[in-house]
Each structure stands twice: as C-alpha cells, then as structure tokens.
Structure 1
Amino acid sequence: MTIFEGLALGLFFLCWLGYGPLLALLARRSGSLNDDMIVVRRAWMMVMTHREVRIVDSQLMGHTINSAGFFASTSLLLIAAVASVLFGGEQALQGVAIIDEGMGSTRLLEAKLALVLLCLARGLLDFIWSIRQMNYALALIGAAPEMHTESDRVALGEAAANLLNPALSAFSQGVRGYYFGLAAAAWLFGPLWLAVGVVVVFCLLVWRQAASPAARAVRTARRLLEQHLPSD
C-alpha cells in the first residue's frame, strides 16, 4: 500500500467515524434533519395516544418496516456478491482486477473489497436492529389501551417515541452505510477516487442534514409541533 493509499484510507475512516459527532454538533447549534425528526416522531406518538382507532399508525409503521426490510434484503444480496469475489479465489479476483491494471497486489485488492464488505455488513446490522425496534414499537401501539388521563397519554407517548426514535436512527445509519459503501467502492479505481468519493459523500450527507429543502421544511414543522408537545 502506497502512502497515497494510506492517506485516502485514513480520510475515509475520518469521515465515516467523524460524521456522527459532527451531526450531533450540528444538532446542538443549528439543528439537523435527524434531530428535528425526533421531535416530529415524538409528536406523532403523542397524537397516537389520543386516537381510539390506530389503524393509520399501524399502517405507517408497517410501511416503514417494509422499507427497512427491503434495504436489509438488498444489503444481503450485495454482501453475498462482494463476498463471492473476495473469497472466490484468484480467478474471481482477476475478474475485478480488469477495472484497473495498476490496482496493485492481490492483498490490496482484497483490502478494497473488504472495506466495501465492512460498510455493507455494518449497514445490515443497523437495518436488522432497526426492524426489531420498530416491531417492538408496533406491538406497543397495538397493545395501548384507551387512556383516560393526560398523564397516562404522555407516559405512553414518551415510551413509544423512545422505541421509535432509536429504531429510525438505526435505519438512517444503515442507509448511510450505502453511501460510504459507494465511496469505498471508488477505491477500486485508485486512491484519488476514494478520497474524492468520501469527501463528496460526506458533504452530500451534511448538506442534506443541515441545508436541504427537506431539512428546512422539517425544521419549520418542528417549531410548530413543539408548541403542542408537553414540556419535559
């Protein structure tokens, strides 16, 4: 591995591991899409406790679980494809080496594929944990009795939100694995491609969280919803 390969790989891990802390910093300062959605989902669970019939809540949860299941299934297929090349022997690796004749040693090629596999595997674990937590939240919604006091409604809504928000946070982390997996795949074309790819992915994710039209719209909705939420 050349010094340029090492620097590009270091930049990749810096962006991958540093994205979460940066997102938390953005949430404290100017707000982020993920942080705003925590408030939106909390408001949803509070409204849910006032409904006598919660069919719409169950349908929304079911749709979200199906989405997570789709991503998890796709991750499994991609993991199987990458693993078949990585562990398929010299002949399988030679097929990938056609992409770049100057790719280097077989060990380096294996490292590049292993990085892609790592991103996909981490994403798959996040999707699995997300689905499990969403199923817990769905069971809580289905088991929720009709509440007669506001304090009971608030307690139930908080409990449901405390299940749902980590579930959707894990879902977001799983989707993030796809982005960094694409950046990792760019390493197959050389260290410069890896560096450019991870910087583009990092900037795109930060922009979507802080300055995209979706982020601005959700931030406006958060301000309105917070006025109707019970104070902590």
Structure 2
Amino acid sequence: MTWVDWAALALFFICWLGYAPILKFIGRHGGSLNDDMSHVRRVWMASMTHREIRLVDSQLMGHSINSASFFASTNLLLIAAVGGILFGGESKLEGFAAVGADNVPTRILEAKLALVLICLARGFLDFIWALRQMNYTLALIGSAPEINKEIDRKAFGEAAAELLNPALSSFSQGVRGYYFALAAAAWLFGPLWLALGVASSFGLLIYRQEASPAARAIRNARRLLGE
C-alpha cells in the first residue's frame, strides 16, 4: 500500500472510532440530536409510569424492535455477500476486480473487502445488542406496577430510560455502520475515494446531528418538555 492509502485509512479510523467523542466535543454547548432524543426518551418513560394502560408504549417499542430486526437482517445479507467474495477464492476476487475496482494485488483487495466486512459485522452486533436491550425494556414496561408515590414513579421511569437509551444508542451505531461501510467500499476504487467517502459520511452525520431540520425540531421539543 502507498502512503496515500495509509493516510486515508488513518482518517477512516479516526472518523469511525472517534465519531462519538468528536460529536460530544462539537455539541458540548448546544447538544446534539442524540442527546436531545435521550432526554425525550427519559420523558417518555416517566410518562409511561403514569398510564394505567400501557398499550401505546408497547406498540412504540414493537415498532422499534421491528426496525432493528429489519436492519439486522439486511446487514446479515450484506455480510454474506461481501464474505462470499472475500472467501470465495481467487476466481471470485478476480471477477470482482474486473468490474471496476482499483488495479491492486489480491492481498490488498482482500484487505479492502475485509474493512467493509468489519464495518458491517460491527453494525450487526450493534443491532443484535439493541434488540436484546429493547426486549428488556419491553419487559420492564409490561411489569411496571401500579405506583402511587411520585418518587417511585420517577425512579422506575429513570430505570426504564437507563435501559432504553443504550438500546437506541446501539441501534444508531448500527445504522452509522452503513455510512462507514459505504466509505470503506469507496476504497476499492482508490485511496482518494476512501478519503472522500469518509469525509462525506462524517460530514453528513455531523450535519444531521447538529443542523438538520430534524435536529432543530427535536431540540425545540426538548425545550418544551423541559430540561
């Protein structure tokens, strides 16, 4: 590999693995969409404890579980496709290279495909962990007792939120894996494409967290719900 490949690869890992702390630093004053949604979900779980019939909460959780299941299934198909090329032997790699990938030695091509596979595999594990935590949260909602004391309602709501927020954070990490898998796939066409793909994916993710219409709407809703 050339020094350009190594530089682009370093940029990739900085943006991929350092996304969370970088986002936290950028949003240290105004917050981010993820932070605002964490607050919204805490309010949701607090409101759940005041409802006698929690059908709507179960339906909302079911929708989230279905979404995570869909992404996990899609991710598994992509892993199978990339793995089929990577471990399918020399003929599969040569056939794949013939459709437009950068003209590099087979070992380098394998490394590029492996990077895509790693991104997808990590995303798949995030989706699986998100699903498990969502099911745990659903069990908490179903087992929520009739609580008369406000202090107990607050404690139970906070406990449920402490389970729900990490679940949805894992889901977000899994979705984010698609962005970086696409960036990694751009490396197949050369290191400059990798750098461009990483910068584009990272910039798009930050924009959606900080300045998108959805981020502004959720930020306004958080203010209405109270800090």
Q: Is this a same-fold pair by TM over 0.5?
A: yes
- Does residue 35 in structure 1 map to residue 35 in structure 2? yes
Q: Secondary structure at the match of 2:112?
A: helix
Q: 1:62: which partner in 2?
A: 62
> Which consecutive unaligned segments of at least 5 residues does structure 1 have?
228-232
Contact 1:50 1:153 in 2 (8 A): yes
Q: Deviations over 1:23-57 (max 9, x none)?
A: 12234221100000000000000110000000000
Does 2:181 match 1:181?
Answer: yes
Which runs of structure 1 show a deviation greater than 2 angstroms over 4 or more consecutive aligned residues? 99-103
Query: 2:48 touches 2:57 (CA, 8 Å); kept in 1?
Result: yes
Backbone CA RMSD of aligned residues: 1.0
Q: CA deviation at 1:210?
A: 0.3
| Equivalent pair of 2:122/2:177 in contact (CA under 8 Å) | yes
Question: In structure 2, how many angstroms separate the alpha carbons of the residues matched to 1:188 and 1:211?
Answer: 31
Q: How many Å apart are 1:102 and its aligned residue? A: 4.4
Q: Which moved more, 1:26-35 or 1:209-218?
A: 26-35
Pairing of 1:54-203 with structure 2 (within 5 A): 54-100=54-100, 102-203=102-203
Q: What's the secondary structure of 2:104's corresponding residue? A: coil
2-structure distance, mates of 1:95, 1:212 = 41
- String of CA shifts for 1:31-86, please: whole Å, max 9, x gaps: 10000000000000011000000000000000000000000001111001100100
2:17 is aligned with 1:17: yes
Q: How many pairs align?
A: 227
Percent sequence identity is: 70
CA shift at 1:8, angstroms?
Answer: 1.0
Query: Which secondary structure does the structure 2 equivalent of 1:104 belong to?
Result: coil
1:141 counterpart SS class: helix
Give TM-score scaled by structure 2 length. 0.98
The alignment's TM-score, normalised by the length of structure 1, stands at 0.96
Over 3 Å counting, the alpha-carbon distance change for 1:189 and 1:102 in structure 2 is closer
Equivalent in the alignment of 1:230: none
